[in-house]
């Protein structure tokens, strides 16, 4: 966050400074407000760029074997430019290096998920997958899979077609 604040201030000062220099070179024929508008364009433009680049920067830093399985693109009325190009504000990544198979049923898998959100701390969760039945469940407190492979304390949810969670967890099934 400090990086983004510093980058926006630097861009505002740089564009404002260039506008002031241009105003001096033209013999002050440009209006005074030109400098202020240039600084504002630098500040707002940098902020918009960094908002759109957030997903690319964070997902590029994920280690090998941790892949993005879902992302939320949003349109916000207070950010009218998102009506033209929606912005990614949240995504979920799965650690495919640590997918665990059930000892007696190879079609049952568990994987660790990481929830990323803009301006939010990263949280994690555990999800179970039934690869044969194309079902999944988020394992919360009280939910577990018995030694026989039976889910207790939660209900399976059918995975929709093209589900990134199911595809990543069941690649080798």
Contact 23, 34 (CB under 8 A): yes
pLDDT of residue 149: 80
What is the share, in percent, of the chain residues with pLDDT greater than 90?
78
In this prediction, residue 141 carries a pLDDT of: 87
Per-residue confidence band for 147, with pLDDT thresholds at 50, 70 and 90 = confident
Nearest-5° Cα angle at 58, 55 to 59: 80
3-state secondary structure of 154: coil
Can you tell me the mean pLDDT for 139-154?
A: 85
Listed in order, strand segments (DSSP E) in the chain are: 66-74, 87-95, 100-101, 108-117, 123-130, 135-139, 144-145, 151-152, 157-158
Confidence at residue 172, expressed as pLDDT on a 0 to 100 scale: 64
Fold of 66-169: Lipocalin (2.40.128)
The mean pLDDT of 164-168, rounded to a whole number, is 92
Q: Which of 108, 116, 124, 102 is nearest to 169 (CA)?
A: 108
Label residue 146 by pLDDT band (50, 70, 90): confident
- Average pLDDT on 78-102 reads 93
User: What's phi and psi for 78, nearest 5 deg?
Assistant: -80, -10
Q: What is the pLDDT of residue 128?
A: 93
Distance in angstroms (rounded) separating the CA atoms of residues 166 and 94: 11
Rounded distance between C-alpha atoms, residue 5 and residue 10, angstroms: 9
Task: Give the tens place of pLDDT for each residue, 26-55.
Answer: 999 999 999 999 999 999 999 999 999 999
Would you kindly state where each structural domain of the chain is located, as residue ranges? Answer: 2-60, 66-169
């Amino acid at each position: 966050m400090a990086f983004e604040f510093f980058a926006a201030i630097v861009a505002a000062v740089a564009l404002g400074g260039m506008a002031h220099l241009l105003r001096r070179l033209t013999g002050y024929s440009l209006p005074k407000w030109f400098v202020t508008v240039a600084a504002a364009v630098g500040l707002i433009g940098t902020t918009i760029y960094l908002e759109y680049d957030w997903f690319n920067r964070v997902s590029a830093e994920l280690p090998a074997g941790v892949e993005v399985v879902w992302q939320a693109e949003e349109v916000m009325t207070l950010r009218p430019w998102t009506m033209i190009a929606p912005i990614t504000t949240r995504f979920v990544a799965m650690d495919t290096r640590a997918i665990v198979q059930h000892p007696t049923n190879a079609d049952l898998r568990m994987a660790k998920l990481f929830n990323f959100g803009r301006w939010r701390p990263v949280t994690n969760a555990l999800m179970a997958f039934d690869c044969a039945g194309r079902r999944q469940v988020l394992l919360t407190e009280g939910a577990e899979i018995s030694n026989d492979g039976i889910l207790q304390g939660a209900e399976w949810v059918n995975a929709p077609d093209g589900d990134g969670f199911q595809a990543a967890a069941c690649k080798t099934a």
